[in-house]
Amino acid sequence: MHCHLSHKIAFHHFFSINNSSTNIFVQILLCMRFHFYGKTILILMLMFLTTGINLYSQYNNAPVIANDTCKTIDNYLSQLEKEKNFSGGLLIIKNGKKIFSKGYGWADKENKIPFTSTTLASMGSITKAFTAAAIMKLVEENKLSLNDPIKKFFPYAPADKANVTIHQLLTHSSGFHEFLQNDGGDYEVIDSDAFIKRAFTEPLAFTPGEKAVYTNVGMSILGIIIEQVSGLDYEAFLQQKLFAPACIKNIGYHVAHNAGEVIAHGYQNGKDWGTIPAHIAAAGNQPYWNLKANGGLEISLDDMFLWANAITNNTVLNKASTDKMFTPQILEEGYNDYFGYGCNIGKTRRNTKLIDNGGSNGIYFARLIRLPDEGLVFYLITNESSINANMVLPNVTQLYFTGQIAQDATQMQHQFEDPMSKMIYEIVLKPETKDLKEALAKENITVNDDLILLDVGQKLIEEKNTDKALILYKYYTY
């Protein structure tokens, strides 16, 4: 399993809705690896109607719902919570002010702990934005340059990789693959030396600088460089250099979390998957490099509010650094938007700027959307996979801009973007397919793009076909 940016959901279509919203065209392409566990379990407890509601009021720390538009959104999410098991939290910032902040559903169903604005939950590959900010801090401190080649930090780098620059790592134009070949998933015990050795041994996907294709490996290499240059652990660097100046205390991997902290459990169609910190602890009691610096950080709505404003107000980085991060750098291969540093950058239909981050491990889903021209920030996190942030945030933004949902993203039929995805989907569905690797070999099919598998996985999850989803999951995880 991996955290992944899931950046190719066409949110600009939703954020740009105007009075001609009937012309909305929506594409949802989920770029993420998935967990597939168990069958759907729907448990409606009478206890929720009594003690559950009281607990909800106790834990939900002063929800912020600032105006009638926000009340409309709250009514929608409350209905979604009751009817479709929506669980998570929404934050909306307007011109630096918190106009919406509220949790829904459960952080921990078993112990009846509601999801609130202080609940910690994994933001997945939004972690990459923090890695980019950390690199820019080191640039400000004159400890490295964006044009530095990686041979400066790894003198033994092979010739094909020696001149890959920090800039190319930040913009996914380095040529490193999305994942290491045959990796053991997010929780594989792999230290920095072993990770770099494997990354350097494997061939590049393309010549550095030739194009830009999303990569987790490149971001993890940046994390290793941060540790090498600063002399601090990645997480400690974030705490000291980025979070402390903004009075942020609780963003992190939280393997050894403090008493009183509530970390949201993830739920796969109602089944408790546990928490990322628990999975990390079970693997080796610390995050390793298939995950570290590219995904997995835990954050609350309250701390995301502080972080978003710290970036907007240049509290942790100067304006030049922030402007550089949010400047379109290179067109993403196959799409119409650009990579900045640790983010995607596009335009809305109103021709306003859209800065997009997202992430998921298939259980937790998160989106962070900045609309700087309009003074807006949206952050939505969900911990129930069946009704996730990628489905819900487009509806929230429609309500925000128009007061109505013209096209319900939670009801949309999944469409394959690549003919190969449809082919693999059909192979997986065959009754005789028990081992996808063998089935693909019989058809002489080679899959070189994880996004194809992820596309198939999303459709299987939407169809609640967990048996076939598990076959797919085993194929690209083991």
Task: Indicate if the pLDDT at residue 55 is higher than 80.
Answer: no
Tens of pLDDT, residues 381-431: 999 999 999 999 999 999 999 999 998 998 876 667 677 888 888 898 988
Stronger pLDDT, 375 or 11, i.e. the higher one? 375
Backbone torsions φ then ψ of 331, nearest 5 degrees: -65, 135
The token duo for 346 is 């596009």
Confidence of residue 2 (pLDDT cuts 50, 70, 90): low
Please write down the long-range contacts of 94-99, taking CB distance under 8 Å and 24 or more positions apart.
94/375, 94/376, 95/375, 96/309, 96/312, 96/313, 96/375, 97/66, 98/64, 98/66, 98/305, 99/64, 99/66, 99/67, 99/70
Stronger pLDDT, 26 or 315, i.e. the higher one? 315
Confidence of residue 143 (pLDDT cuts 50, 70, 90): very high
Q: What is the pLDDT of residue 77?
A: 98
Q: How far apart are CA 180 and CA 377, in angstroms?
A: 33
Task: Indicate if the pLDDT at residue 157 is higher than 90.
Answer: yes
Mean pLDDT of 359-364: 93
Mean pLDDT of 324-352: 93
Tens of pLDDT, residues 210-222: 999 999 999 999 9
Task: Indicate if the pLDDT at residue 29 is higher than 50.
Answer: no
Q: What is the pLDDT of residue 451?
A: 67
Q: How far apart are CA 451 and CA 8, in angstroms?
A: 11
What is the DSSP code string of 177-217? -SS-TT---TT----HHHHHHHHHHSPPSS-TTS-----HH
Q: What is the pLDDT of residue 130?
A: 98
Q: How far apart are CA 335 and CA 331, in angstroms?
A: 7
Q: What is the pLDDT of residue 82?
A: 97
Of 10-19, 74-83, 175-184, 306-315, minimum mean pLDDT range: 10-19
Task: Indicate if the pLDDT at residue 43 is higher than 60.
Answer: no
Q: How far apart are CA 250 and CA 118, in angstroms?
A: 9
Q: What is the pLDDT of residue 61?
A: 67
On whether the CB atoms of residues 427 and 433 are closer than 8 A, the answer is yes
Q: Is 361 exposed, middle or buried (0-12, 13-18, 19+ CB in 10 A)?
A: buried
User: What does pTM read for this prediction?
Assistant: 0.81
Q: How far apart are CA 370 and CA 12, in angstroms?
A: 11
Q: What is the pLDDT of residue 386?
A: 92
Tens of pLDDT, residues 98-140: 999 999 999 999 999 999 999 999 999 999 999 999 999 999 9
Q: What is the pLDDT of residue 39?
A: 29
Task: Indicate if the pLDDT at residue 180 is higher than 90.
Answer: yes
On whether the CB atoms of residues 269 and 385 are closer than 8 A, the answer is yes
On whether the CB atoms of residues 287 and 296 are closer than 8 A, the answer is yes
The residues pairing with 100 across neighbouring beta strands, listed in sequence order, are 65, 92
Tens of pLDDT, residues 277-336: 999 999 988 999 999 999 999 999 999 999 999 999 999 999 999 999 999 999 999 888
Closest alpha carbon to 451 in 33, 89, 122, 98:
33
Tens of pLDDT, residues 238-273: 999 999 999 999 999 998 777 789 999 999 989 999
Task: Indicate if the pLDDT at residue 48 is higher than 60.
Answer: no
Q: What is the pLDDT of residue 16?
A: 42
Other C-beta atoms closer than 10 Å to the C-beta of 333 total: 14
On whether the CB atoms of residues 366 and 124 are closer than 8 A, the answer is yes
Q: What is the pLDDT of residue 227?
A: 98
Task: Indicate if the pLDDT at residue 13 is higher than 90.
Answer: no
The token duo for 102 is 């509220």
Q: What is the pLDDT of residue 464?
A: 67
Mean pLDDT of 457-474: 76
